[in-house]
A and B are shown apart, each in its own frame.
Chain A
Amino acid sequence: MIKHFEDKEEAVPSLADILSLGQNEEEAYKAFCDYILPSVCGRKTNQVKFNEIKICEIATPSDEAFGLLLLENAWDRWSYQAANPEGETFPTTKYSNEGSTARIAKMYAGWKSSGLHRFNDLQKQVKEDRTTSDRMEFELNYLNARQASTSNKRQRISYGVMEYVSVDNDLDDDLED
């Protein structure tokens, strides 16, 4: 995501804008749906579905909330890593105990209890967001944009105008016998 925006010389969406969910501030939630959400709900298995049905029918609220949690948890660290790939020390994550062997870290499989509470909050927010008109409008627009994008791509691959090279074969010999 970051490299794509950098290559296009556009501003990377901020975490705060992404957390505004369906309001899609500065096209941030579109970026979340393009880059992050497919990784959570299955990029390959759902690739076709992203062109056919709305986000809320592909990703569960739990998927969406988990994607947001992962971003919020490691935003500082990953941003730093993107800017300093050779760096040796990175900012710590917000809700996870990476590498910790403490009992509490093991208990929640590496997550702090604050992370689990935050996940519950995010799930509630996503469920509520899905009932708002902003979100419904965003979902429709997003689906239309996806469909338009893929139909454009299909038009580019136009087999009708290609000239095929004919390669000889020996099938006729067999048929004559």
Chain B
Amino acid sequence: MQIRLPTNERETAPAPGASVPTNVSVDHQTRNDSVSDMGTASEIYLSQMRANEFSLGQDHLVAAMNQIVRLELFHKMKFITSPTQLDWGGTVQKWIFKKLNFTEDTYFKEFWNKHKGSIRLSLNKKRGNITWEVKSSFLSKSSLYT
């Protein structure tokens, strides 16, 4: 849930905790928000902050997931050849959740279904990078010793 205020009002939003009566109204039909009971700007501000934290959190989780793919999963699995390998309850999902200490609740199930495609992309990208590395090593003279 994200509350979108007009720009000038967002910029002048009070600090968290400040209780400033306001008559800010949110257009429910066009913004799809449900904050009709909010009476103060601070409540709106706090709610907005929470919404931002929520979306930031998802970005971080995706980044953590992609990192674990690059650093660990790749060394155990080089190819994902079928979309069913990424299904909820499959080996890949269970392995990643165990590594990242994710709980298998509804929130993370939705998260997985939304972002599981990035696993395949990360793995493909890593494979491409490694191929490039191997080619460089093959053509150059650098080794472990140099």
Contacts and interface: CB of A to CB of B under 8 A. Distances in A.
Contacts of B141: 1-4, 7
Contacts of A109: 79, 124, 127
Contact of B133 (A1, A2, A39, A78): A39
Contacts of B127: 66, 109
Contacts of A74: 135
Interface residues of A, number: 36
B75 interface: yes
Contacts, number: 84
A39 B132 CA distance: 9
Contacts of B137: 1, 35-36, 38-39
A82 interface: yes
A119 interface: yes
B77 A4 contact: no
Contact of B75 (A50, A62, A146): A62
Given A35-B138, A36-B134, A116 B81 contact: yes
A40 B144 CA distance: 12
B145 A34 contact: yes
A34 B143 contact: yes
- In the complex, which of the residues B75, B81, B134, B139 has the most CB atoms of chain A within 10 Å of its own CB atom? B134
A83 B79 CA distance: 31
Interface string A58-83: 01101100110011001000100110
Interface in A46-61: 47, 50, 59-60
A39 B134 contact: yes
Contacts of A38: 137, 143-144
Interface in B111-146: 124, 127, 130-131, 133-146
Contact of B144 (A47, A66, A67): A47
Interface string A102-117: 0000011101000010
A176 B34 CA distance: 71
B79 A2 contact: no
A20 interface: no
A78 B81 contact: no
Given A119-B79, A149-B145, A40 B130 contact: yes
Given A39-B136, A70-B130, 19 more contacts: A1-B138, A4-B140, A4-B141, A7-B141, A34-B144, A34-B145, A35-B137, A35-B144, A36-B134, A36-B137, A36-B138, A38-B143, A40-B134, A62-B77, A62-B78, A82-B138, A108-B81, A119-B78, A149-B145
The 3 closest A-B pairs by CB, nearest first: A4-B141, A3-B141, A39-B133
